[in-house]
Amino acid sequence: MKAKTLARALLISGVGICLCATPGFTAGDFHCQEIGGGVLTNFLDPTQCASPVRLCTDGIATGDLRGAVGVQVLGITGNVYHVRHHCVTESGDTIFLKDAFLTTFPTSDPNRVLADYLSGVDITGGTGRFDGAKGHISSGFGGADLGQITLRYAGTVCFRPVAG
């Protein structure tokens, strides 16, 4: 292969790799960033919970989405929990999240389980900075015991450009 042809092929391949690896380019006018942090929640008293199965949590999110977070369980099928999240950032912005499915895995201790959002959680917008935002939390793995849930999250969120 000629050097010029090889150089052209490498250039085209390099540009393709960069475009696929950089969320900001593939998202059009959106500015994307990687996010990560943790969630620490406590189970609520069932009498104070607006859930069909009377199971809810409230707590905090740390990291890039730091603020308050709550989960309302809408239904349970075996070890899969259909959930709705409520998130308000430290600065007062609300983050809208699509309903998601949390899968639990038993441990040797009947009072503790591991849990994972196997399909992730989608960000569908919000208020303030999150108005029109979109994203995907691709990792949400943690554990639960009789009174609390602790997990780590990671993903990408894309924001609309700020009007100047």
Provide the whole-model pTM: 0.78
Q: Tally Cβ neighbours within 10 Å of residue 40.
A: 15
CATH of the domain at 107: 2.40.160
Does 103 map to a domain?
A: yes
Does 23 map to a domain?
A: no
Query: In the predicted model, is pLDDT for residue 25 greater than 90?
Result: no
Question: Could you report the per-residue pLDDT of 132-141, keeping only the tens digit for each?
Answer: 999 999 887 8
Does 12 map to a domain?
A: no
Q: What is the DSSP letter of 160?
A: P
Query: In the predicted model, is pLDDT for residue 72 greater than 70?
Result: yes
Question: Could you report the per-residue pLDDT of 99-122, keeping only the tens digit for each?
Answer: 999 999 999 999 999 999 999 999
Which residue segment(s) compose the domain that 155 sits in?
29-159
Does 116 map to a domain?
A: yes
Confidence of residue 1 (pLDDT cuts 50, 70, 90): very low
Beta strands 134-144; 56-61: pairing state: unpaired
Give how many domains the chain has, as a whole number. 1
Does 19 map to a domain?
A: no
137: β partners: 121, 155
Dist CA 35 CA 135 (whole Å) = 10
Does 132 map to a domain?
A: yes
Question: Which alpha helices (H) appear in 39-152, and where do they start and end?
Answer: none
Side-chain-side CA neighbours of 105 within 13 Å: the count stands at: 8
Does 152 map to a domain?
A: yes
Does 46 map to a domain?
A: yes
